[in-house]
Amino acid sequence: MPQIFHPSMNTISRATIFGAVFIIGFIGWLMGAVVRSPYATSAGVIKEQPVPFSHEHHVAECGIDCRYCHTSVEDSSFAGIPPTQTCMNCHRELWTESPILEPVRASYRTGEPLVWNRVHDVPDFAFFDHSIHIRKGVSCATCHGAVDRMPLMHREATLHMEWCLECHRQPERFVGPRELVFASAASPADESKVAQSNWIEAYHVQSKTDCSVCHR
Amino acid sequence: MNSNFRQPDTASDVPHRASDGSQFWRSLEELEGDDAFFVALRREFPEYANRLTDGATRRQFLQLMGASLALAGMQGCVEQPQEKIVPFVQAPEQIVPGKPLYYSTAMTHDGAGIGLLAESHMGRPVKIEGNPLHPAVPEIMSAAAETNRLRFGASDTFAQASVLSLYDPDRSQTVLRDGQISTWDAFAAELQATLSTLAEAGGRGLRILTETVVSPTFADQLRQLVELYPNAAWHQYEPINHDNELLGSRLAFDADVQTIYHVEAADVIVSLDADFLADGPMHLQQARGFANRRRVDSTGAASAASMNRLYVVESSLTVTGAAADHRLPLAPRAVAAFSLRLAQALGLQLEASESAENATSVGDQIPQEWLDAVAADLQQARGRGLVIAGRAQPPFVHAIAHWINATLGNVPGSVEYVEPIAARPELQLDSLRDLVNSMRAGEVHALVILAGNPLYNAPADFHFAAALENVPLTVHLSQYEDETSARCRWHIPELHFLESWSDTRAGDGTVSIVQPLVAPLRSGKSLHEVLATLLGNFAASSYEIVRSYWRSRLEAQSTEANSDVVWQQALHDGIVANTGSPAVQPTIRGDFAAVLGRQLSLSLPAGEGISVVFRPDPSLWDGRFANNGWLQELPRPLTTLTWDNAALMAPATADALQVKNGNVIEIIVEQTAISIPVLITPGQSANVVTLHLGYGRERAGRIGNSVGTNVYPLRSSGAMWHAEGAEIRATGRTHKLALTQHHHVMEGRNLVRAGTLTEFQEHPEHPAFMFEGHVPAEDVSMYPEHKYDGYKWGMVINQAACIGCNACVVACQAENNVPIVGKGQVLNSREMHWLRIDHYYRGSPENPEHYHQPMLCQHCELAPCEPVCPVAATTHSSEGLNEMTYNRCIGTRYCSNNCPYKVRRFNFLDYNRELRQDAVLQLASNPDVTVRSRGVMEKCTFCVQRISAARITAEKEDRKIRDGEVVTACQAACPTEAIVFGDLNDAGSRVRQESASALNYSVLGELNTRPRTTYLAVVRNPNPALR
């Protein structure tokens, strides 16, 4: 009986069998990579806004504290987006003719609010609370990155659940002194203060990973 | 598809049945051991509920499934939609995004106000709680509340559901003239023209019809109107009114009084057809007072003196009757006769007359030993007794109740009298009769109907619709374009109480300012604004009207220099201080016996055949809540009927008529017939058919139209509460009734524990009824033990305090965005309520004992649902919560299958679609809770969003959560504090104390699920003389 398969089939079949493993593995890796890529997460992607507001200018150059605009960050789940009035506190005096600021002035004049595109948007089934993280010594920069070096705002982190859990599983890596929570990332951290104490114990940080902490 | 995997089709493999009457039972079918019932019971869902009924072939099915699977996989790839942030231009004071604000307001219902706290998220009210400062509202966790910033009060189903009515898309949106869209200005112009012609005759021909007026501002406006038009007349009518009470007090005292019952002060309570736990202006306080005297502690000696005893004589089963130690079901006539015989036994001397003999003969069915026992008990509890007559009873029964309370010295201990709270107490039936007669005579030129729906609910013999034809100008102010609107020339949309200013009075007269929470969602006018228009002020806003009335009144009364301070305080507290009705001490008139004797002949018609009893519906009241889906789908107390009304009758009556559940019968009263399905109700009086008002609406809205049967056609002015001599015929038709009682049945195990006070006192530490017939749990587990170092959340439900009023069920629905599913889905056992109230009977079907068991996720420490979830969507938290993570759930339903308590609910369809698509309706949802989609399991979370909020507040202040700081939605609503929630690790917490009680037990504890929700057994206090 003649051979049905040429001996080269041995190689081909081996390559196919092992290749399939590699191909499946590759597809798995590719999916993971796409899901974590800025394409899917919008991390690092600058969103168009009605006014090209520069955090770099206002925070690093003017030295305005986060809480001047994000007033409810210590009290509420939502950090707060400033009302037009807050912008106009300064801009009724400064850059009053600037065409870039026309939407702000228009809003103030007409009473029509500005409509911003949300940059940090966790899914609606996840409930995040700013105030408790601030209170427990998680600085703004931990999640939002070096906002004071961002001329235009973008998302620094993926906001994936694995990213949240990174801190919730090992809070000691991220929790720092309360005094430095609002410190800009660009300013050098006071090493003596950071090294001084065990913040986890001092602030009674509970590394909660129960589902209902965020999902309810 | 077509397989019924592990679904038994024969009754032979069903082990338990409760055919022995001494056991607890849940339905007549169970008691009788009906085979079909037991087969159905073993199914989680009814037969065919899991089958494709639209004739899809196997191939089509596979195609569909393949497509759905592919789509399901793709769902995760949808890009997150860009969310917008819209900040204020000028930030208003106090609003912090993400933090709710609470405002005090009040709701007027049944001629009295109930004080509320409305929770507002960014300006939209989403949840209602009771205002604990309000006299009609008992406080929740009052001992612990002192230290907490937010204090809650109890509330009822209507208050809880009112927030959904606010967002109802079917509410009327525009002024209509003869059904065509018109404008307010056009209306004002036409009204002005008519008024100017009427003004010459002093307003003769102008009539106003309102509901019961208690609002001081509204009363003041009406006073001004009468000054302006001395010949105009104001009428009041509500189909469920207090006429009998009013006549009763005139009969007894020759004066109009408002009666306040201090139920907590009473040792012996006799209810003469009075549903005082769920009805009346102060029912929340009455329920609390009653329940406070039903709690027994482990020292049995103390509880013997503190526990009250409740006798209920009634013609239709009510929640009060279900809570009674002794309940006597009687025909309506016999209830009246009973009260007369009781008064005679207590010393009332009636002159011998025909009517007195008549009364005696009607009372033949009254067991003498019952009467003697009640009389003896009342005698013994002189000064600490209480007799309450129900609003359906004729005036002389109310007079007798007053007489007994006065004679036995129960005033002022358990009964207090104050001046009437109504702006003008009057007999509403007579008031409406006057109006209708004038309309027929053509004397009415302009009729302004301010709220109410007389065309639907006026007595049938008044022929209101025909009379309305004679009135040239008719105006109807109403929230919906309803039956009456359709026949009036003008329809004006009415504002909801959460969007306009007003004021109201509590059952003791205390005034509350009704404060709006939102600007009107739809254009509309308030009562005050329409009345101001009649007074010639076309532009006044409700706020100006209410504020100016109170400015002048406060400046006249207040010692405070600045009346604005008093006003602000009143708005904050929800009550205006020192506005309670003055107390009065009425005395029984000297010729009481003679006057009563004359009344008897009028009140005791001798009748044959079947009596028909009309009752307000526990969910829809007189029909005004017909378009509220939460209330329509709420299983009615005791019957668990949803989306329908039915003719409730006793098993014996049904046997005599040869009808079964769902058979449609024809009820004929004086040549008028209606068709209505039968619902056999254990405990219903023999030969009495109860009909609930409020159904069969034609123009209620999309939810309420054509639901149930309109029974108003049978209700005539001579038979407002019961009609005698009804004829009943079977029609041969059937109607499916959506009852929830049989859903999720837990087979023949004894799930309720109950005993008597005597039994309890024998062994207060180990009451025998806690152990008999119960398998003790073996404390073993193959899983590692959980450790709870921090909080350990738990709940204790006191079944002795639970009256089954349903407030918790609606509160849960409002708090947790629980959807309504509609009648068809309820018939398929797919109702979504996270909390249900199971109802158990014990004893004979003629007059069984009733037990309520609120059933919700038990948060088992060894939860059977957790290990079977393939994707870890249901997990155990470090604080012992059984968590449900919706975004993980893939809908296998294994957890629900494995849950012995049947408390998990599955979203078979996208029940929230309408909510998401309606821009206004979606405002009603709580932003702190995920709105679930199709294919997801859900269940009670112990209000984890409230735990989270409390934890964050406490952690920010570097302290632990205090007892009473986390109040679950069901607990907050409960008038009797039957539900207690807290930290079991906190030695001082109330939940810990109650869980240590000798009466504490776990439902199905023998399964070793170690539930975190435990129950306190019912202890009743029957009279040994009646055993």
- Residue by residue, DSSP assigns B254-314 as SS--EEEE-GGG-SEEEEES--TTTSSTTHHHHHHHHHHTT---S-HHHHHHH--EEEEEE
A208 inside 8 A of chain B by CB: yes
From CA B844, how far away is CA B833, in angstroms rounded? Answer: 30
Q: List CB contacts (< 8 A) between B89 and chain A.
A: 83-85, 107-108, 111-113
Which of B929, B1010, B943, B952 has its CA nearest to residue B972? Answer: B943
Q: What are the tens digits of pLDDT across the range B713-768? A: 999 998 899 888 889 999 989 999 998 876 555 556 678 888 888 888 888 888 88
CB of B402 within 8 A of CB of B411? no
For residue B452, count CB atoms less than 10 angstroms from its CB and return exposed for 0-12, middle for 13-18, buried for 19 or more.
Answer: buried
E-strand stretches of B68-138:
84-85, 101-109, 112-121, 124-130
From CA B524, how far away is CA B173, in angstroms rounded? Answer: 7
pLDDT of B3 strictly over 50: no
Pairing state between β B610-615 and B502-505: unpaired
Which of B106, B211, B213 has its CA nearest to residue B451? Answer: B211
CB of B109 within 8 A of CB of B158? yes
Smallest Cα distance from A12 to chain B, Å? 32
Q: List CB contacts (< 8 A) between A115 and chain B.
A: 84-86
Which of B822, B771, B478, B802 has its CA nearest to residue B642? Answer: B822
Question: Which uninterrupted H or E stretch holds B37?
Answer: helix B35-42
> What is the rounded end-to-end Cα distance, in angstroms, of chain A?
69
Q: What are the tens digits of pLDDT across the range B644-693? A: 999 999 999 999 999 999 999 999 998 899 999 999 999 998 889 999 99
B655 inside 8 A of chain A by CB: no
Cβ atoms within 10 A of the Cβ of B386, count?
Answer: 29
Segment 927-966 of chain B within 8 Å of chain A by CB: 928-930, 941, 944-945, 948, 952, 955-956, 958
Asked if A83 and B88 come within 8 Å (Cβ–Cβ), the reply is yes
- φ, ψ dihedrals at B463, nearest 5°: 45, 60
Confidence of residue B21 (pLDDT cuts 50, 70, 90): very low
pLDDT of B298 strictly over 80: no
Query: Which one is predicted more confidently, B422 or B761?
Result: B422
Q: Can you name the residues that pair with B673 across neighbouring β-strands?
A: B668
Residue with tokens 């087979």: B747
pLDDT of B17 strictly over 50: no
Q: List CB contacts (< 8 A) between A121 and chain B.
A: 80, 83
pLDDT value at position B718?
Answer: 87
Distance of CA A154 to the CA centre of its chain: 8
pLDDT of B387 strictly over 70: yes
pLDDT of B359 strictly over 70: no
- Calculate Rg over the CA atoms of chain A: 25
For residue B1020, give every residue at least 6 positions away whose Cβ sits within 8 Å of its Cβ, in sequence order, or none: B325, B754, B755, B756, B757, B800, B849
Nearest to B952 among A132, A210, A211 (CB): A132
With a pLDDT cut of 70, the percent of chain B lying above it is 88
B346 inside 8 A of chain A by CB: no
B33 inside 8 A of chain A by CB: no
Cα-Cα-Cα-Cα torsion B48, B49, B51, B54, nearest 10 degrees, comes to: 100
From CA B83, how far away is CA B243, in angstroms rounded? Answer: 57
Q: pTM for the full model?
A: 0.90
A54 inside 8 A of chain B by CB: no
Asked if A131 and B955 come within 8 Å (Cβ–Cβ), the reply is no
Query: Which one is predicted more confidently, A176 or B150?
Result: A176
CB of B234 within 8 A of CB of B226? yes
Which of B791, B890, B213 has its CA nearest to residue B531? Answer: B213
b/e map of B341-352 (b: 16 or more CB within 10 Å)? bbbbbbebebee
From CA B794, how far away is CA B860, in angstroms rounded? Answer: 10
pLDDT value at position B574?
Answer: 92
A207 inside 8 A of chain B by CB: no
pLDDT of B40 strictly over 90: no
- DSSP letter at B522 equals S
Which of B551, B525, B893, B750 has its CA nearest to residue B30? Answer: B750
Q: Can you name the residues that pair with B1014 across neighbouring β-strands?
A: B796
Which tokens is B999 given?
Answer: 């009466």
For residue B149, count CB atoms less than 10 angstroms from its CB and return exposed for 0-12, middle for 13-18, buried for 19 or more.
Answer: exposed
pLDDT value at position B190?
Answer: 92
In this prediction, residues B427-433 reach a mean pLDDT of 94
A80 inside 8 A of chain B by CB: yes
pLDDT value at position A192?
Answer: 52
Which tokens is B88 given?
Answer: 């204020």
From CA A128, how far away is CA A141, in angstroms rounded? Answer: 16
- Nearest Cα residue in chain A from B95: A72
Q: List CB contacts (< 8 A) between A212 and chain B.
A: 877, 881, 883, 885, 941, 944, 948
Share the mean pLDDT of chain B: 87
In this structure, chain A runs to a length of 216
From CA B1020, how far away is CA B850, in angstroms rounded? Answer: 11
pLDDT of B301 strictly over 60: no
CB of B637 within 8 A of CB of B157? no
Q: What are the tens digits of pLDDT across the range B710-721? A: 999 999 998 899
Q: List CB contacts (< 8 A) between B790 and chain A.
A: 206
Cα-Cα-Cα-Cα torsion B1018, B633, B487, B622, nearest 10 degrees, comes to: 0
Which of B985, B795, B867 has its CA nearest to residue B876? Answer: B867
Cβ atoms within 10 A of the Cβ of B57, count?
Answer: 9
The 3 state secondary structure assigned to B649-673 is ECHHHHHHHCCCCCEEEEEEECCEE
pLDDT value at position B11?
Answer: 41
- φ, ψ dihedrals at A182, nearest 5°: -95, 5
Q: List CB contacts (< 8 A) between B86 and chain A.
A: 113-116
Q: What are the tens digits of pLDDT across the range B257-273? A: 999 999 999 999 999 99
Cα-Cα-Cα-Cα torsion B389, B392, B394, B400, nearest 10 degrees, comes to: 0
Nearest to B96 among A72, A85, A206 (CB): A72
Return averaged pLDDT per consecutive 10 residues of chain A, 216 residues in all: 83 87 91 86 87 92 91 92 93 90 93 93 91 91 90 90 90 86 67 62 84 91
In this prediction, residues B975-989 reach a mean pLDDT of 92
Smallest Cα distance from B831 to chain A, Å? 20
- Nearest Cα residue in chain B from A72: B96
b/e map of B929-958 (b: 16 or more CB within 10 Å)? bbbbbebbbbbbbbbbbbbbbbbbbebeee
CA distances from residue B95 to A78, B222, B586 in whole angstroms, order as listed: 12, 37, 50
Which of B846, B845, B843, B820 has its CA nearest to residue B833? Answer: B820
In this prediction, residues B686-713 reach a mean pLDDT of 92
Asked if A76 and B99 come within 8 Å (Cβ–Cβ), the reply is yes
Q: What are the tens digits of pLDDT across the range B176-211? A: 999 999 999 999 999 999 999 888 888 889 999 999
Confidence of residue B10 (pLDDT cuts 50, 70, 90): very low
Confidence of residue B363 (pLDDT cuts 50, 70, 90): low
For residue A122, count CB atoms less than 10 angstroms from its CB and return exposed for 0-12, middle for 13-18, buried for 19 or more.
Answer: middle
Q: What are the tens digits of pLDDT across the range B454-490? A: 999 999 999 999 999 999 999 999 999 999 999 999 9
Helix ranges (H only) for B495-628 are: 527-534, 542-557, 563-573, 592-603
From CA A209, how far away is CA A212, in angstroms rounded? Answer: 8
- DSSP letter at B593 equals H
Smallest Cα distance from B152 to chain A, Å? 22
B730 inside 8 A of chain A by CB: no
Query: Which range is least confidently modeled, B9-13, B411-415, B616-620, B627-631?
Result: B9-13
B3 inside 8 A of chain A by CB: no
Which tokens is B913 given?
Answer: 């679609």
E-strand stretches of B604-695:
610-615, 641-642, 647-649, 663-669, 672-680, 688-692
From CA B751, how far away is CA B1007, in angstroms rounded? Answer: 12
Helix (H, G, I), strand (E, B) or coil at B24: strand
- φ, ψ dihedrals at B209, nearest 5°: -120, 120
Asked if B885 and A215 come within 8 Å (Cβ–Cβ), the reply is yes
B790 inside 8 A of chain A by CB: yes
Asked if A76 and B879 come within 8 Å (Cβ–Cβ), the reply is no
Q: What are the tens digits of pLDDT across the range B833-881? A: 999 998 888 888 888 999 999 999 999 998 999 999 999 999 999 999 9
In this prediction, residues B246-253 reach a mean pLDDT of 92
Confidence of residue B8 (pLDDT cuts 50, 70, 90): very low
Confidence of residue B14 (pLDDT cuts 50, 70, 90): very low
pLDDT value at position B19?
Answer: 43
CB of B982 within 8 A of CB of B794? yes
A142 inside 8 A of chain B by CB: no
A78 inside 8 A of chain B by CB: yes
CB of B285 within 8 A of CB of B300? no
B894 inside 8 A of chain A by CB: no
Bond prior to B848 in cis (omega within 30° of 0): no
pLDDT of B297 strictly over 60: yes
pLDDT of B48 strictly over 90: no
- Nearest Cα residue in chain B from A208: B878
Smallest Cα distance from B99 to chain A, Å? 6
Asked if B941 and A114 come within 8 Å (Cβ–Cβ), the reply is no
Helix (H, G, I), strand (E, B) or coil at B1000: strand
- Nearest Cα residue in chain A from B80: A123
